Amino acid sequence: MTLGYGLLFVVLAFSVENFFSGANIVGLLLSVAQIGMVACTMMLCLASRDFDLSVGSTIAFAGVLGAMVLERTGSVGLSIGAGLLAGALIGAGNGVLIAYLRVNALIATLATMLMVRGLAFIASHGQAVGIADEGFISFGDTTFLNLPLPIWMTALCFVIFGVLLNHTVFGRNTLAIGGNPEAARLAGVRVERLRVWIFLLQGVVTALAGLILSARITSGQPNAATGFELDVISACVLGGVSLQGGKARIFGVVIGVLIMGTVENVMNLLNVDAFYQYLVRGLILLAAVLLDQLKTRGERRG
């Protein structure tokens, strides 16, 4: 996968005008910042044999709530705290529904997706909530070493969750319950509690991505991040995270995120119509799922 992306990058650098320019590379990385952050925790969900369809709605709601709290209190700290708390509650709610109440992950997170999106529209009366506070806006456009803060935040998430997955008991247990939940339970892993923690982390990181997005666009948008969950899942599966659970690599997720971002970036540079971009994104998702199925069948035969 890494070699394939490297070859793709070289070909595009020589064949697509302005692709390899510094401004475009920074723009590419910035465009996948939110996907990259959320992919880190979606990786854990998929590795534990679950998934979360509510991340797009959580991004929108966290952004709207943060903007509303900022508008009423003028406190950047309170607005960020409110958004993160909302994400934690949404994630923990998903975890309780799935782990303790045994609701199917598809149904639970689909219901949450609809309810949270509805709450975002109700709270904002269907309107964007403007942000004028420079302190909050700097959360999305501050630069360090000529790179915007969201890119550094995404890189930090990759490092933290890479260490969490590969070098902690939490990560090993996550892979264990994805591989065989009953065997993990017999080995002493508190499966239900761990699944709730995974979804709670998913909610917090997703809310952080939503707050950063609202700072970048200087408003909380109730219709933000529509279809976002499919891009995140596609990136994870392209990066080798198995939909069957039990397998995940953080470096693979990085490559998957870059593939998604690069394809979209190139289509924009080539002025490809938005309708065709939807088609291409759908084909990428289908290809990712088929690739996962082929790998799974090959391993079973082996």
DSSP structure string for 36-79: HHHHHHHHHHHHTT---S-HHHHHHHHHHHHHHHHHHH--HHHH
Residue 292 pLDDT: 76
| Interacting residues of 16 by C-beta distance below 8 A, sequence separation 6+ | 266, 269, 270
- pLDDT band (50, 70, 90) for residue 73: very high
C-alpha–C-alpha distance, residues 178 and 42, integer Å: 13
Q: Residue 130's CB: how many other CB atoms inside 10 A?
A: 11
Tell me the average pLDDT across 140-145. Answer: 87
Residue 134 host element (H or E): helix 134-141
C-alpha–C-alpha distance, residues 51 and 68, integer Å: 29
201 close to 41: Cβ distance less than 8 angstroms: yes
184-190 CB contacts, 8 Å cutoff, 24+ apart: none
Q: What is the pLDDT of residues 200-234, one digit of tens each?
A: 999 999 999 999 999 999 999 999 999 899 899 98
Residue 64 pLDDT: 97
Longest dimension (CA), the chain: 61
Average pLDDT over the chain reads 92
Residue 159 pLDDT: 97
Tell me the average pLDDT across 10-28. Answer: 90
* φ, ψ dihedrals at 128, nearest 5°: -65, 140
Nearest to 34 by CA among 171, 140, 165: 140
pLDDT at 300 over 80: no
Residue 160 pLDDT: 97
3-state secondary structure of 259: helix
Residue 111 pLDDT: 97
Output the CA torsion sign for 46, 228, 260, 164.
negative
Tell me the average pLDDT across 238-246. Answer: 88
Residue 227 pLDDT: 87
4-13, 121-130, 216-225: least confident range: 4-13
- Token reading at 281: 């994104």
Residue 302 pLDDT: 58
pLDDT-above-70 percentage for the chain: 98
Residue 301 pLDDT: 67
Q: Residue 270's CB: how many other CB atoms inside 10 A?
A: 10
In the chain, the amino acid numbered 80 is I
Q: What is the pLDDT of residues 85-94, one digit of tens each?
A: 999 999 999 9
Residue 90 pLDDT: 98
Q: What is the pLDDT of residues 251-298, one digit of tens each?
A: 999 999 999 999 999 999 999 998 898 898 888 888 878 877 787 777
In the chain, the amino acid numbered 49 is R
Residue 299 pLDDT: 67
C-alpha–C-alpha distance, residues 55 and 97, integer Å: 16
